[in-house]
Amino acid sequence: MSEFPGKGLAKGLAVTLKTMTKRSTTRQYPDTPPDLPPRSRGVIALVEENCTVCMLCARECPDWCIYIDSHKEEVQVPGAARARQRNVLDQFDIDFSLCMYCGICIEVCPFDALYWSPEFEYAEYDIRDLLHDKERLGDWVETVPPPPAHDTNGEPAKEETAARKTQLAG
Amino acid sequence: MPVWVELVLRVLAVVAAFLTLPLLIGQTEHKVMAHMQGRLGPMYAGAFHGWAQLIADGVKFVQKEDVTPREADRPVFRLAPVVALLPYLVVLLVIPLGPSGLVAQPLDIGLFFVLSVVGVGVVSVLMAAWASANKYALLGGLRAAAQLLGYELPFVLAAASVAMAAGTLSLPGIVEAWRPWWLLWQFPAMVIFFVAGLAEIRRPPFDMPIADSELVFGYMTEYTGLRFAFFVLAEYVGILVIGALTTVLFLGGWKGPFGLDAELGWLWTLIKVAAVSFVIIWFRVAYPRLREDQLQRLCWLVLVPLALAQLVLTVAVKVAL
C-alpha cells in the first residue's frame, strides 16, 4: 500500500455525491419520446408508384426478407405504333422478423421507392405479424423525415455539377 | 394515565417506528442509489416518483409461493427470518428519541442489552444457512459467522470506549453525559463502531456472506416470498439500528447545535439517524465488496488494535480530567 489508505474510498464517495447532484440522464421513454439521431433506421417505407419491379432490392437483400410479385399490363400510348408493357406490383412484403436493418435495399433502389423511417414502435405479439405488406409499408411513407440539409462546406452533389456543366456547355 | 395504557402506547410507538422508518430508509436507498448512478429509480408505483415502490414490493412478496426445500430443516428454516428481524425490534425499545424519558423502555444496562441483542443476528444467519441444505447458503453462512464474530469485537470495544467516557451503560445516560468535544475525543471509536456496524448488518462493502456474484444470494438463496422479504426488511431495520446507535453513542443523540433540546430533541435524533443512514447507503454505492481476506485483515489488523488504542486514550483522558 503505497497510497494513503482510504483514498479510493474518498474518491468513490466524491464521484457518487457529484453524480447525485447532477440531473439524471434517464428519459422516461413511453412518456417522453426519445431524441432519435438523424438517419435513424426504424422501419422501411415503400413509395409504391416509384417501384418498377426491377427486383434489385429482393436480390441484394442478404437474408432474403423481401417478397415481390407482379404482372405485366399492356398500356396503349396514343400515337405510338404498338402498345407498351408495364410492370404492375401485386405484392411487396418485407419480413421484419428477418430484416437486419442493413439498408442495402434502400441503397440499391434506382428509383427511390424505398426510404428509412425512424418509427420503431411496431412490435407484435405474433412473429408472423412482423411481415409488412405493401399497404403497411406505404403507410410508413408519411413518417419519412425530409432529407437532412446538405453540408455547407461539403462538395456539391454530382447531379448539381453535372447540371451546371450542361448549362455552361449549352 | 394507568401503567398499562402507557405501556401499550410505548410499544405501539416502537412498532410504528419499526414499520415505517425502515421503509423510508429503503425508499431513500432506491432513490439515492439511482441518482448516484445517474438513474431515476422507481418512478411509477404510487404515481409520484415511485413513493409506494416498497409497498408494491411487499404486496408482491406476500403473493409469492412460500417454498421450503425438501431437504431443509423445516422448523429452523422457517424460524430463521423471524430471528433475524426480532432482535432489531427489541433494540428499538431502548433507543432514546429525546430527553426526559422519551424512550420506550429506559434500561440501566441499555448499551449492554443492545450489544448482546444485536449479536443474535449471527444466530439467525447460521440457522438460515444450515437449515437451507444448500451449499451456497452454507458457504454464505460460514462467511457470515466468521465476519460477525470477528467484527463483534471492535464493535463492542468501540462502544465500551464511549461507555467508559460517560461512566454509564444507560443509553439516555450516555447522551446526557455527551459533550460536543467528544466528537474529537471519541472520533476513532465512532469510525470503528460505524465500520463494524456496517459489517454487523452485512451491508456492502461487507456483504461477503451474500455476495450475489459468487454465492447466488448466500444464506438467503433458498428463501422466497414473505420470508425473503423479512430478511430484506431486517437489512433496512439494521441500517436504522446502526444509524440510531451511532447517533446515540457518538453524535450526541437529541442534543442540537442550539438550545431547544427539550422541544426539538426528537427531531435532532431523527435528523442524525437519517444522516448516518444516508452515509451507509452512500458507502454501498461508492465502494466495491471487500474480499474475504481483506475483510478479516481490516477487522483484526486495523479495527481491533485501533479500538484498543482508543480505549487507552479514553482512560488516559478520563484519568487526567
Measure the CA–CA gap between A169 and A165, rounded to whole angstroms: 6
Provide the terminal-to-terminal Cα distance of chain A, rounded to the nearest Å: 82
A109 marked ligand binding residue: yes
Q: What is the pLDDT of residue B44?
A: 84
Among A1, A7, A11, A16, most B C-beta atoms within 10 A, so best to mutate, is A16
Q: pLDDT value at position A2?
A: 54
Task: Round to whole Å and give the CA distance between A53 and B272.
Answer: 76
Confidence (pLDDT) at A93:
92
What is the model's pLDDT at position B119? Answer: 84
A65 is in an annotated binding site: no
Question: Contact A48/A113 with Cβ under 8 angstroms?
Answer: yes
Determine the straight-line distance between the first and last CA of chain B, rounded to whole angstroms.
43
Q: Do B32 and A20 touch (CB under 8 A)?
A: yes
On the question of pLDDT at A148 being above 80, the answer is no
Tens of pLDDT, residues B73-114:
888 988 888 888 888 888 888 888 877 767 767 778 888 888
> Where do runs of H (alpha helix) occur along B37-170?
53-63, 74-94, 110-118, 121-131, 135-166
Residue-level pLDDT at A114: 92
CB contact under 8 A, A26 and B286: no
Is the ipTM, as predicted for this complex, more than 0.85? no
Contacts of B149 (CB under 8 A, 6+ apart): B122
**Is omega for the bond preceding B205 within 30 degrees of 0, making it cis?**
yes
Average pLDDT score over chain B:
86
> B286 and A24 in contact by Cβ < 8 A?
no
What would the mean pLDDT of B292-321 be, rounded to a whole number?
A: 88
How close A34 comes to chain B (CA, Å)?
Answer: 16
Q: What is the pLDDT of residues A44-97, one digit of tens each?
A: 999 988 888 889 999 999 999 999 999 998 888 888 888 888 888 899 999 999
Q: Do A9 and B35 touch (CB under 8 A)?
A: no
Task: Please say if the pLDDT value at position A138 is more than 60.
Answer: yes
Could you say which of A12, A17, A24 has the minimum Cβ distance to residue B39?
A: A24
Distance from CA of A4 to the nearest CA of B (A): 14
Q: Is the CB of residue B25 less than 8 Å from the CB of residue B236?
A: yes
Can you give the pLDDT at residue A95?
A: 92
Share of chain B above pLDDT 90, in %: 6
Q: Is the separation of the CB atoms in B108 and B169 below 8 Å?
A: yes
pLDDT in tens, A21-42: 888 888 888 888 888 888 889 9
Q: Which residues of A touch B40 (CB under 8 A)?
A: 24, 26, 28
Interface probe with A: pick from B198, B287, B290, B294, most Cβ of A within 10 Å: B287
- Phi, psi at B287, each rounded to 5°: -130, 140
CA angle B219, B37, A119 (to 5 degrees): 110
Q: Which among B40, B285, B287 is the nearest to A24, CB-wise?
A: B40
Closest CA to B161 of B202, B97, B115, B106: B115
Distance from CA of B61 to the nearest CA of A (A): 26
Average pLDDT over residues B257-279: 83
Binned at pLDDT 50, 70 and 90, residue A104 comes out as: very high
Contact A19/B286, CB-based, under 8 Å? no
Q: What is the arithmetic mean of pLDDT over B281-305?
A: 88
Instruction: At B262, list the grid cell.
Output: 427539550
pLDDT digits (tens, 9 = 90+) for B158-181: 988 888 888 888 888 888 888 888
Of B54, B279, B193, B295, give the one whose Cα is nearest residue A16: B279
- The C-alpha of A149 sits at a distance from chain B's nearest C-alpha, in angstroms, of 34
User: Of A8, A13, A24, which is closest to B38 when you measure between CB atoms?
Assistant: A24
Q: Does A24 touch chain B (CB under 8 A)?
A: yes
Q: How far is A48 from chain B (nearest CA, A)?
A: 43
Q: Which residue of B has its CA nearest to A23?
A: B38
| A152 touches B: beta carbon within 8 Å | no
The mean pLDDT of B185-214, rounded to a whole number, is 87
In chain B, what's the furthest Cα-to-Cα distance?
63
A26 at B interface, C-beta within 8 A = yes
Average pLDDT over residues B181-200: 88
Give the H/E segment covering residue A72. strand A66-75
Of the candidates B104, B113, B133, the one whose C-alpha atom is nearest the C-alpha of residue B7 is: B104
User: Average pLDDT of B30-34?
Assistant: 89
C-beta atoms of B35 and A24 within 8 A: yes
CB B94, CB B104: distance < 8 Å: yes
